[in-house]
Structure 1
Amino acid sequence: MLLAYARDAEQTLQPESCSDSFDYAVSLASYHLESGQEGARVLFGPGAEEARRTVLTADDVAHRLSQVPLPEVTAAALRSTLADTVDTARYWQDPDGEDILVAAEPVRRELRRVAEHIARSAHAQWWTTSVAADQWSVGWSESVGWSEDGKDSAGSTTAELLRDYRDRTAAEEVRAERDRPADPSANWSGWWWSTPPTRCSSRLLFDRTPAGLWFVEDSMGWERAITRRVNIPAGARVYEVDGAQAWAELCRQFPVEVTAQKRHDWYRTTGRSGRWVIPDWPRLAERYEGVHLTVAGYLAAAGTAIVVDADTASVIAGWAPDHTYWLTDTVNLGSDDPRTWVCDTSGMHPSWIEEAHH
């Protein structure tokens, strides 16, 4: 996210990219770092041949980053950068050139300036807060199970969804153990998410738009959505995932073995080989109504190999920042009218606009 924020900051002050810009340096350095990988970016057009011969190091990128002025943080800019970061999460493939670049010490060192700049802003303070009382569910018009009024069309209770999920996960582990290669580097992919199969919701942001409209991992380019208020009972117990340790504790208390079905995707994205577990959501539902991932928790831990014990780890995958997954039917959709949204993609960043009801 820090890299994206710095690139946006430079583009705001210098809309036209040039060969001595930070943005150009990031693009070129990333190109060379991922060269030869499957799906690597390709250079073409005027100047492509010269760019292929020009090698910029992490030190070069860090120096250019140090020259980028950081404008005052705005809520809109921070949201756009976070949304772009979430959308580009890829937990089933190798780190790309930008991932490798930001892991280099010279760049990491210079990115601390960006992190401190954002952390000082009042607009980032909600990133560490617990689940908000005002929650909204998002339904995408192009997705399976969507209905015009924003209500669930599946008809199953939350308990039924969790039982079915538990059975399918256990059956898939048996199949994967039997049918898939034990070599984690084998070219194999499967269901890489670690989310419950239940309704999720998020808070309203500074402009009264639900966070779930903006923060979607690996989005499908949806341009229309229905949102509904979610009723949360007083005293609802919500487990807060504010970082790797909180997730690891869930996995220690309620582990479900998923090594055979996750090993290939999670090895590819983390580089770790070994046993994998996820939380047992049906068991967790006996203690909590929901599980909330803070923005800070997402940025610190999502997509990483989270150590559970000496030989076991887990990954927060498929989640989005500020999402709360609800594990019981004590939480339900409100009876008030749904809100309909359309996505305007004409600007530098997508923007969600509410449709007026007639």
Structure 2
Amino acid sequence: MSELEILHCLAYAVDFARYWEPPDEEDLIFVRPEVIAALRPIAQALLDSPHTAWWAEPADLLNQNLVEKRNPIYGWSDLPLRIYRAEDGLEQWRAEALDNERQFLEYQIEDPDRHIGGEWWSIPFANGTTETTRARDGIGALGVILEEDSSSNEARVQPVRIYGAPRIYEITGPQDWANLVDTYPLPVPASRRSVWYDTTGEYRDWFIPDWLSVSADYDAVHLTMMAYLTTPGVAIPLSANSGATVLAGWDPDATFWLRSNNITVDDDPSG
């Protein structure tokens, strides 16, 4: 298989990722022991391919791109693809996350058996944070095709330039994610109670990273391709905190920039 064919197969699975509802019939089929055994040789053949040799690599700082998808309802954004200051947005994100948790705790106190949806992601979803991915020769920016719950097949791409020596936290698997959450914990047991029970089948004291605190020590966080295949959607136990966490809402090879001091736009957008 060519690299593009492999990535298109991966893109199909990525597009169906969801962390806010129970597994469907196909999900349950793919976790059967006999199905896993049948698929294992195929997975090993893919991992042995030269086209996947880079899947465990850290962020490619010489080859990062911004990607904007065309909104199917509103069309293209009027705002240019550019880098915005993230620090103020992270402070606002943290305040809103704490308010959201308090609100869901009130819901839980009023009706302990109430099942209510809410925020399910664990990305730094804040004003000013920038998500970039690498580009591959002959394929282009991975963010165009590898997007969870994809909204559009039309995209604008703009290369970015990374300068200096950014401090990047690399997530290579579940333990790296657990270590990040353990080091910078933000408890969200009420707001994630229902949605993460749906996806994991467990009620836990849930935690996500406190991204404002993370930004004090790191400029960006990168999820490797291999980490994407091994980490999302499962309950990952913590060691320094009594509870667990879920990596949810990340795209493969995504780098989230928590600070804007090492990144700038490069050329004009290309469509």
- Of 127, 143, 150, the residue aligned with 1:212 is 143
Letter in 2 for 1:102: F
* Equivalenced residues, count: 262
After TM superposition, the score normalised by the length of structure 1 is: 0.70
- Of 143, 157, 170, the residue aligned with 1:240 is 170
Q: Tell me how far apart the structure 1 counterparts of residues 258 and 82 of structure 2 sit (CA, whole Å).
A: 17
**Is 1:135 aligned with 2:57?**
no
Residues 1:276 and 1:289: Cα distance change in structure 2 (over 3 Å) = same
Letter in 2 for 1:163: E
**Is 1:104 aligned with 2:35?**
no
Letter in 1 for 2:213: R
Q: Tell me how far apart the structure 2 counterparts of residues 274 and 303 of structure 1 sit (CA, whole Å).
A: 14
- Of 36, 44, 49, the residue aligned with 1:121 is 49
Letter in 2 for 1:237: R
Structure 1 contact 158–328 (Cα < 8 Å) conserved: yes
**Is 1:230 aligned with 2:160?**
yes
Structure 1 contact 202–324 (Cα < 8 Å) conserved: yes
Structure 2 contact 233–248 (Cα < 8 Å) conserved: yes
Letter in 1 for 2:3: A
Letter in 1 for 2:47: A
> Superposition RMSD on alpha carbons, in Å?
1.8
- Of 186, 192, 203, the residue aligned with 2:120 is 192
Q: Tell me how far apart the structure 2 counterparts of residues 288 and 182 of structure 1 sit (CA, whole Å).
A: 38
Q: Tell me how far apart the structure 1 counterparts of residues 23 and 172 of structure 2 sit (CA, whole Å).
A: 24
Structure 1 contact 140–225 (Cα < 8 Å) conserved: yes
Report what 1:297 is aligned to. Answer: 227
**How far has the Cα of 1:292 moved from its partner?**
0.2
**How far has the Cα of 1:110 moved from its partner?**
1.1
Give ranges in structure 1 of 5+ residues lacking alignment.
Answer: 1-72, 341-358
- Of 133, 144, 159, the residue aligned with 2:87 is 159
Letter in 2 for 1:101: I
**Is 1:331 aligned with 2:262?**
yes
- What are the Cα deviations for residues 283-326 of structure 1, in whole angstroms up to 9, with x where unaligned? 11111110000010010011111111374111111101100000
- What are the Cα deviations for residues 181-236 of structure 1, in whole angstroms up to 9, with x where unaligned? 444xx43211111100211000002315101111111122x132221122212211
Report what 2:185 is aligned to. Answer: 255
SS in structure 1 at match of 2:186: strand
Report what 2:12 is aligned to. Answer: 84
**How far has the Cα of 1:257 moved from its partner?**
0.7
- Of 285, 299, 323, the residue aligned with 2:215 is 285
Map 1:30-109 onto structure 2 (within 5 A): 73-109=1-37
**How far has the Cα of 1:112 moved from its partner?**
0.8
Give ranges in structure 2 of 5+ residues lacking alignment.
Answer: none
- What are the Cα deviations for residues 328-358 of structure 1, in whole angstroms up to 9, with x where unaligned? 0113332421111xxxxxxxxxxxxxxxxxx
Residues 1:332 and 1:234: Cα distance change in structure 2 (over 3 Å) = closer
Choose 1 or 2 for highest CA Rg: 1
With a CA cutoff of 8 Å and minimum separation of 6, indicate the structure with the bigger relative contact order. 2
Letter in 2 for 1:120: D
Letter in 2 for 1:187: H
Structure 1 contact 228–333 (Cα < 8 Å) conserved: no
**How far has the Cα of 1:147 moved from its partner?**
3.0
Report what 1:25 is aligned to. Answer: none
Q: Tell me how far apart the structure 2 counterparts of residues 182 and 246 of structure 1 sit (CA, whole Å).
A: 33
Q: Tell me how far apart the structure 1 counterparts of residues 252 and 139 of structure 2 sit (CA, whole Å).
A: 17
- Of 277, 294, 315, the residue aligned with 2:246 is 315
Q: Tell me how far apart the structure 2 counterparts of residues 127 and 146 of structure 1 sit (CA, whole Å).
A: 32
- Of 262, 267, 280, the residue aligned with 2:197 is 267
Percent identity over the alignment is: 32
Letter in 2 for 1:77: E
- What are the Cα deviations for residues 127-171 of structure 1, in whole angstroms up to 9, with x where unaligned? 10000021001112318893364236xxx6200110000000001
Structure 2 contact 4–139 (Cα < 8 Å) conserved: no
